[in-house]
Amino acid sequence: MTAVVAEHDDHHDHHDHGPEKGILRWIITTNHKDIGTMYLVFALIMFFVGGTMALIIRSELFEPGLQFVDPQFFNSMTTMHALVMVFGAVMPAFVGLANWMIPMMIGAPDMALPRMNNMSFWMLVAGVLLLAATLFMEGGAPAGGWTLYPPLVLQTGKALPFAIFSVHMLGISSIMGAINVIATIFNMRAPGMTLMKMPLFVWTWLITAFLLIAIMPVFAGAVTMLLTDRFFDTSFFNAAGGGDPVLYQHIFWFFGHPEVYVMILPTFGVASTIIPVFARKPLFGYASMVYATAAIAFLSFIVWAHHMFTVGLPIAGELYFMYATMLIAIPTGVKVFNWTATMWKGEMTFETPMLFSIAFVVLFTLGGFTGLMMSVAPADFQYHDTYFIVAHFHYTLVPASVFILMASGYYWLPKWTGNMYDERIGRLHFWLSAISVNILFFPQHFLGLAGMPRRIPDYAIQFADWNMVSSIGAFIYGFSQLLFVYIVIDTIRGGTGKATAEVWEDASKHGLEWTVPSPAPYHTFTTPPEIIPTEHL
């Protein structure tokens, strides 16, 4: 369905002007490809920063007893690991992909609002740096969990207002990015690129962008209330002044639940883009994929209190949020079935992007199963705040979002750099990641069911064995990711040879980006391509 053929005429590009020279190219650039590159590189760096924090956590949990860090610093690490990974790594990585790929996929010359694009990137950098700076402040970085629940978070030392301001900056950056995506998709599609012909990556990002615009102001509001509670004597969340700490949780999760879908919807989009290419078959159920994504996005706004089953909701609330949450399984199931049907009777080859995508479908489904289990409120009374949920959301984030980000890297690197990556090392990276990520997270299901609470720096002896296994997996997984850095650098320097414009066999049937030369010229589609209706193929 996304199959389009374009006629690209290089002669139209003779007014082309190249990038600025030197460092200014990156600071003042308004080019979607440069900004996309900066987002991706920044996200990769943050992935390693957040990963280092994760390894500090797993080192401390390698054995019972406190060996390396102080419990307060441990809490800072769990908090900062989550904030850095969510706001510094996964979200920016998808914004980077959106920048690079959306204009090329819809036949647009650039993003609709290029200057704002630049501003939203640099605001992100400032926000994350400010957040990182809190690590060095008196009293340490925030240590109340990434959810920043009061009253605990109000016990943070000097770092609190800085962390809150950083959240404001990250929010503004995300909103600007989202506005840009929406404006680009609605206004800059090539003639003939109707909404229902857009590649699914574009569709999922369009929906994600609406989620972002809806939720980031809510989060900003919640943290601003924290700020006034701490410094201006308000009592939004203080029972002694007539407030309610649980109110914060309602506001936070009204943001938080759609927020986790912000990280998974574009993931769905990329998987739906990659799998058909390597199955050599059109995506099965394009329309139902679009509707399922929209349904998931809608549901994400009406299920937030399933994160709060144990805070003492009234029984009607428990039942409503349980039923609503269970519904999410339906559109999510449709997606998994459609991917399976896309592979069915295909002509599959297993290059690295496809390997990561298949692993995504399998392991994301595992995370989906535990999600379904937790939607059942009475069972969640046991699972809640244990390692079971830690296993659940890491399955939906690491072997799902992160694997798909890796898949995107391998899939589009030849287009970005003009060179092929080393397939052998790519596959090695895949197998090391796929095996170790399961050693890392699968035992955490057992730990949670056996009774280990999350966010504890030390544990009872019966949890020792699986924690050790999990930590070993963490180190293998963490160090395997260095292979990806090696591959990226190696590919930029020439890789295993020049890539063709199409890169993957018959890829040009699946997306406009494969109709331009590799590497993609600094300016593409300055003249809109001609979109041939799918029926003609």
Partner 1 sequence: MKKTKQLLACLVLMTFGLGTAHADYTLNLMRGVTQLSNEVYDLHMLILWICVFIGIAVFGTMFYSIFHHRKSKGHKAAQFHENTTVEIIWTIIPTLILVAMAIPATKAVIDLDRVQDSEMTIKVTGKQWYWDYEYLDSGVHFESHLDLASEKAHRVSTIDPRSVPNYLLNVDKPLVVPVKTKIRFLFTAADVIHSWWVPDLGWKKDANPGFVNDAWTSVDKPGVYRGQCTELCGRDHGFMPIVVIAMEKEQYDAWVKAELEKQNALPDLSKQTRASLLIKGESVYLTNCVACHQIDGKGISGWYPAINGSTKVTGDMSQLIGFVQAGTSKMPAFKKLPADQLAGLITYIRNAPELGNKVGDELQACSALSLDELEDLFPDLDNAPELCKEKGEVKPDPVVAQKN
Site for partner 1 in 290-319 (CB under 8 A): 310-312, 315, 318-319
- The Cα–Cα gap between 40 and 97 comes to 7
Q: Does 133 bind partner 1 (CB under 8 A)?
A: no
Alpha-carbon distances of 307 from 52, 169, 383, rounded to whole Å: 27, 26, 11
416 part of the active site: no
Q: Does 430 bind partner 1 (CB under 8 A)?
A: no
Q: Rule CB under 8 A: choose which of 327, 432, 435, 476 binds partner 1.
A: 327
Q: Does 128 bind partner 1 (CB under 8 A)?
A: no
Q: Rule CB under 8 A: choose which of 460, 482, 485, 489 binds partner 1.
A: 460
Q: Please say whether the beta carbons of 497 and 419 come within 8 A.
A: yes
Q: Which of residues 222-241 bind partner 1 (CB under 8 A)?
A: 238-240
Binding residues for partner 1, total number by CB under 8 A: 101
Peptide bond connecting 519 to the previous residue in cis, omega within 30 degrees of 0: yes
Closest CA to 305 of 290, 288, 320: 320
Q: Which of residues 66-125 bind partner 1 (CB under 8 A)?
A: 66-67, 70-72, 75
Q: Does 152 bind partner 1 (CB under 8 A)?
A: yes
DSSP 159-198: THHHHHHHHHHHHHHHHHHHHHHHHHHHH-PPTT--GGGS
306 part of the active site: yes
- Joined tokens for residue 481: 């990711």
What's the closest the beta carbon of residue 41 comes to partner 1, in angstroms?
33
- The Cα–Cα gap between 432 and 424 comes to 12
Q: Rule CB under 8 A: choose which of 44, 111, 262, 377 binds partner 1.
A: 377
Q: Rule CB under 8 A: choose which of 133, 135, 246, 435 binds partner 1.
A: 246
173 part of the active site: yes
Q: Rule CB under 8 A: choose which of 451, 478, 517, 521 binds partner 1.
A: 451
What's the closest the beta carbon of residue 133 comes to partner 1, in angstroms?
16
230 part of the active site: no
Closest CA to 167 of 95, 242, 236, 88: 88
Task: Select the span of 104-112, 259-267, 371-379, 390-398 touching partner 1 (CB under 8 A).
Answer: 371-379
Angle of CA points 477, 363, 290, to nearest 5°: 125
110 part of the active site: yes
Closest CA to 308 of 359, 248, 268: 248
Burial of residue 23 (CB within 10 Å: 0-12, 13-18, 19+) is: exposed
Task: Select the span of 59-67, 110-118, 161-169, 425-433 touching partner 1 (CB under 8 A).
Answer: 59-67
Task: Select the span of 42-50, 297-305, 377-385, 413-421 touching partner 1 (CB under 8 A).
Answer: 377-385
What's the closest the beta carbon of residue 82 comes to partner 1, in angstroms?
12
With H, G, I as helix, E, B as strand and everything else as coil, classify residue 386. strand
Q: Which of residues 391-420 bind partner 1 (CB under 8 A)?
A: none
Burial of residue 21 (CB within 10 Å: 0-12, 13-18, 19+) is: exposed
